[in-house]
Structure 1
Amino acid sequence: MLGKQRAKEEGAEPKKELDKMQDEEDNEGWEKSVLARAIIEILGAPKDYVETTLNVIADTIKKNEDLRVEKEEFFEPKKQEKLFSAFMELDIRFRSIEGLFGFCIDFMPSSVDILEPEKIDYDSAELTRNVNDLMAKLHKIDSALKQVNVENELLQHNAMLLLRNNVIITLGEKKMNLKELSSRTGVPEEQLKNFLELWIKEGMLKSQDELYFV
């Protein structure tokens, strides 16, 4: 009996050592890890789309090798007028504070609460590097947004020119009232009226007795 007990204890020792080595290997490079609780919220429709999108975001986050999702909780979407709002709460361990910064830029959580450690030591060189990296990402996002705004303004300008030409060609056939023009162009009366008034001021159209003509 004693022999079996001793053999069992001797067999347990190597296993403990292996488990310890495995833990050390798993935690290698995580000495400066940061545990944070993040809330990510999305707004959209329909309800199924919102739920699916939230799950896709969670799966994308988990693919990052520089973080570990230790806890996750999804909340039922709530209707807000014609849209649905849903959010998830994640406890994420980041390999470093830099990883947390990058996560905030990439996924724009609505709130972040750092759980561990209580204090974070930073030397000036490391902080400078992280701030510069953060600013570089922000400038990249700002540049992309400006490009989108320029393209959007160009599209709006071209769309208005197309509408103006369509109206001029249509009125070349005969005089029309607002309702007729709206029916021919497919633009709601209230919106079309604003454009017509603008083009009248610019001298491109004329109006008399609620009829428009060129």
Structure 2
Amino acid sequence: MSPDERETRGIKAALIIEVVGRPPEHLIDTLKTIIKRIDEEKNVVVKSKKINEPKLMKDNKDFYTSFAEIEVEVEEILYLAVLMFKYMPAHVEVIEPELIALTNNGWNDIFNEITRRLHGYDEVAKILQFERGILEKRFREALGEEKFKEILEDRASVKKEKPKKKKKK
């Protein structure tokens, strides 16, 4: 038996995907599209799905929230990791099997996928920081240093004025 044959295959998992936005019917369409894309992923099969009706958010009455409960079966654990990074579910639960065997090769695939994704996010963050610096420099030049500082101070005072949420006891 080769090492790859010892790895657990056919893993069932439940995912919860949340969306926020408006109008409410857009959330349903978005969740349907996400579920369709998940089902089209390599070595992933959607076994069941339930889309919950959108509800007004408690803290922001301008937006709605909804979520989908999706049960998937993946060929191997790597594909579940890919789903996590690609679709960012709010919750993931492995349903079965109870015990998952994974070879060094399997772990390497997962770690390399995670590393690849993290490097991609890091690259985006660095580009955004660089572009922010360019925009800040252009604003300083266009507005002048005094006006720019005034805007920053106004912005800082607005942040301080926001009421803090009360903690539940």
Q: In structure 2, what is the Cα distance between the partners aligned to 1:85 and 1:105? A: 21
Q: Which runs of 5+ in 1 are unaligned?
A: 1-30, 169-191, 199-214
Indicate the structure whose relative CO is greater, using CA pairs within 8 Å and at least 6 residues apart.
2
Secondary structure of 1:121 counterpart: coil
Query: Percent identity, aligned pairs only?
Result: 25
Alpha-carbon RMSD:
2.7
After superposition, residues 2-17 of structure 1 pair within 5 angstroms as: none
Q: In structure 2, what is the Cα distance between the partners aligned to 1:115 and 1:92? A: 10
Give the number of the structure whose alpha-carbon radius of gyration is greater. Answer: 1
After superposition, residues 1-214 of structure 1 pair within 5 angstroms as: 32-80=9-57, 81=60, 82-159=62-139, 161-162=141-142, 164=143, 194-195=150-151
Q: Which runs of 5+ in 2 are unaligned?
A: 1-7, 155-169
Tell me: CA distance 1:154–1:50, structure 2 relative to 1, closer, same or farther (3 Å). Answer: farther
User: What's 1:188 paired with?
Assistant: none
Q: In structure 2, what is the Cα distance between the partners aligned to 1:68 and 1:94? A: 7
Q: In structure 2, what is the Cα distance between the partners aligned to 1:88 and 1:107? A: 12
When normalised by structure 1's length, the TM-score is 0.59
Secondary structure of 2:100 counterpart: coil
**Contact kept? 2:78, 2:109, Cα under 8 Å:** no
Secondary structure of 1:109 counterpart: coil
Q: In structure 1, what is the Cα distance between the partners aligned to 2:25 and 2:133? A: 33
Listed one character per residue, the Cα deviations across residues 175-211 of structure 1 (whole Å, up to 9, x for unaligned) are xxxxxxxxxxxxxxxxx9933989xxxxxxxxxxxxx
Listed one character per residue, the Cα deviations across residues 9-44 of structure 1 (whole Å, up to 9, x for unaligned) are xxxxxxxxxxxxxxxxxxxxxx71210000000111
Q: How many residues align?
A: 143
Q: In structure 2, what is the Cα distance between the partners aligned to 1:78 and 1:197? A: 37
Q: In structure 2, what is the Cα distance between the partners aligned to 1:110 and 1:56? A: 17
| Deviation of 1:49 (Å) | 2.3
When normalised by structure 2's length, the TM-score is 0.73
Q: In structure 2, what is the Cα distance between the partners aligned to 1:155 and 1:48? A: 36
